[in-house]
Amino acid sequence: MLVGYRSSDERERALERLASAARAELHVLGASVEGRPIHAARVPCRRPGDHAALLVCAGIHGPEYIGTEVALGVLERARGAELDGLLERAELWVLPSLNPDGYERTWVRGGEGTLRALRANAHGIDLNRNYPLPAPQRKVWFDFGGWRTGSDDPENPFYRGPSPGSEPETAALLGLLAQIRFAASVSLHSAMGMLIPPCTASASSIASYRMLCGAFAAAQPHTRYRRSAHGRFDLFTGEQEDLQHHVHGTWAIAVEHYPIWVDATRFLQPNLFRRFNPPDPGRWVTNDIPGIAAYFEAALRLPRPEHEP
């Protein structure tokens, strides 16, 4: 029992209820290793004719429940007026749980366990290191045990798997990305309080991400997230945002909810779940959704990212 958060069943019921209220279609994109469906809700654009598409993904790492709460919060707001500006111009896809087996494992274990045990899919693979790399990886002098580049060691929490796209959860999202060319995307994680753009050497893309992340932070009512600096902290690692930016021409960032500086002492407590998830999720749902909406608004005004050779 993880107080303040939803079990897998509660999450699925909330998705059905919120999708129905928002007049969204529910799609099954695939199934996890243990056979749990990977659901997407598609909220149609309110205007007929040509329009853009936007993507909100969460739950790729088992214990990061706050991202799922924010994704469901976005869907909840899609029925009212709060996202009118976006839904006049775009359809919105919401995937609240890209790793339903990791979510369930975290729940059953009460959030107790190692990063590797709870973060991975049922094959022990870090799904956010399993996407195809858009370009060869650079060597780095210090890798923080695989955190920066992913790992080929099955015992490592950042194990990338036997080959890119090997996992059914990854394949489910790859199938959607092959069908819909999203204009902008957010992938929701915790717990750094950071906005993480893709790895890119393009000066114009770097400037655009500076602007987009600035728009995100400026719209957050009480706690503003910082953009991670290009080049220093990010590399091609098999992460979703790198693939989306370079291969699909999508303005794509990872969002790390629930900043470290809000309560750094939580990293001293033994329960892994409590390190990654705030005791008051509603406060962060309210803080972070205006940021996501502002980021999407700003991205819809940009042309696609320039192609890098």
Structure tokens at 170: 């990854």
Pairing of strands 226-227, 52-58: unpaired
**Interacting span for Zn ion (CB under 5 A) from 2-10, 32-40, 59-67, 238-246:** 59-67
CA separation for the pair 46, 44 (Å, rounded): 6
Q: 233's torsion region: left (phi>0), alpha (psi -120 to 50) or beta?
A: alpha
**Interacting span for Zn ion (CB under 5 A) from 36-44, 46-54, 60-68, 270-278:** 60-68
Among 6, 11, 61, 89, binds Zn ion (CB under 5 A): 61
Among 36, 89, 129, 189, binds Zn ion (CB under 5 A): 189
Is position 248 an interface residue for Zn ion (rule: CB under 5 A)? no
- Give the phi and the psi of residue 29 in degrees, each rounded to 5: -85, -20
Orientation angle between helical segments 240-248 and 168-179, nearest 10 degrees: 30
**Interacting span for Zn ion (CB under 5 A) from 1-9, 30-38, 61-69, 153-161:** 61-69
Residue closer to Zn ion (CB basis): 53 or 238:
238
CA separation for the pair 47, 37 (Å, rounded): 30
CA separation for the pair 255, 191 (Å, rounded): 9
Question: Tokens 């050497």 — which residue?
Answer: 201
Q: Burial, 300: exposed, middle or buried (Cβ in 10 Å; 0-12, 13-18, 19+)?
A: middle
Residue closer to Zn ion (CB basis): 128 or 208:
128
Q: State in angstroms the smallest separation of the CB of 236 from Zn ion.
A: 17
Q: State in angstroms the smallest separation of the CB of 61 from Zn ion.
A: 4
Structure tokens at 290: 């205006």
Total chain residues near Zn ion (CB under 5 A): 3
Q: State in angstroms the smallest separation of the CB of 36 from Zn ion.
A: 19
Q: State in angstroms the smallest separation of the CB of 135 from Zn ion.
A: 22
Contacts with Zn ion by CB under 5 A lie at: 61, 64, 189
